[in-house]
Amino acid sequence: DGGITQSPKYLFRKEGQNVTLSCEQNLNHDAMYWYRQDPGQGLRLIYYSQIVNDFQKGDIAEGYSVSREKKESFPLTVTSAQKNPTAFYLCASSLRDSLYGYTFGSGTRLTVV
Amino acid sequence: DAKTTQPTSMDCAEGRAANLPCNHSTISGNEYVYWYRQIHSQGPQYIIHGLKNNETNEMASLIITEDRKSSTLILPHATLRDTAVYYCIVRANPMIKAAGNKLTFGGGTRVLVKP
């Protein structure tokens, strides 16, 4: 079955440590996205990538970094510069220049203590 | 992309139709209306999208007013599993505008289906 996989589902880190969240898709989608969601809030775009080796900042990119070395993978690193990293992180993918909607992963809940 | 306005929350009875309104008064001619829903602690799920004609699929119906300034998502027979946050999003046609295919999520409507 095609889909988008985020791992791990829950992640705990100590303050000051960098942490990388995994996102893999086998849908042959060109574009991939990272969103952050805080309790009771909507989703906010962190970074997105439309093609391999290219990505753009979203609305809240500060303190985050990404890479897109393969079409299937779009890992997100939460750096120590991110002031409030505890949140629910969602990865999505879509066909580029298509009216079809996004496919979302099941999310990673990051807790920094 | 145009901004949308949705009620914060609404309740509906199991088995009855749920009508979820959305205002998008500044929508432009090449912008589509999309609906997603998010069940607690899961990723959002695509429901339906439309431009100006009414649309129906196995999940829901989308009714867009003639002036396109508002729309209604209809869940024909709500079940307890339809309890979720529903997001109405306006998105530029990615084939016309190089908007990066971005979707901007607002606060959504928290729908509680009651037995």
* Tens digit of each residue's pLDDT (9 = 90 or more) over B26-63: 998 888 999 999 998 899 999 999 999 999 999 999 99
**Of A33, A5, A8, A67, residue with least CA distance to B102:** A33
| pLDDT over threshold 60, residue B99 | no
| pLDDT over threshold 80, residue B102 | no
Which residues pair with residue A5 across a beta bridge?
A24
B36/A contact by beta carbon, under 8 A:
yes
Our separate counts of H helices and E strands in chain B read: 0, 9
Kindly give the pairing relationship between strand B109-114 and strand B9-13. parallel
A44 and B105 in contact by Cβ < 8 A? yes
Q: Would you state the structure tokens that stand for residue A11, as one six-digit string?
A: 């992640």
Q: What is the mean pLDDT of chain B?
A: 91
Q: Rounded distance, CA B59 to CA A82, Å? A: 39
Per-residue model confidence as pLDDT tens for chain A (113 residues): 569 999 999 999 999 899 999 999 999 999 999 999 998 889 999 999 999 999 999 999 999 999 999 999 999 999 998 989 999 999 999 988 777 789 999 999 999 98
- Chain A: residue whose CA lies nearest to B30: A99
| pLDDT over threshold 90, residue B101 | no
Q: Rounded distance, CA A33 to CA A49, Å? A: 6
Sign of the C-alpha dihedral computed for residues B89, B90, B94 and B95 taken in this order? positive
A54/B contact by beta carbon, under 8 A:
no
Question: Chain A: nearest CA to B49, how far in angstroms?
Answer: 8
Number of residues that make up chain A: 113
Which residues pair with residue B101 across a beta bridge?
none
Query: Quick check: bond before A8 cis, omega within 30?
Result: yes
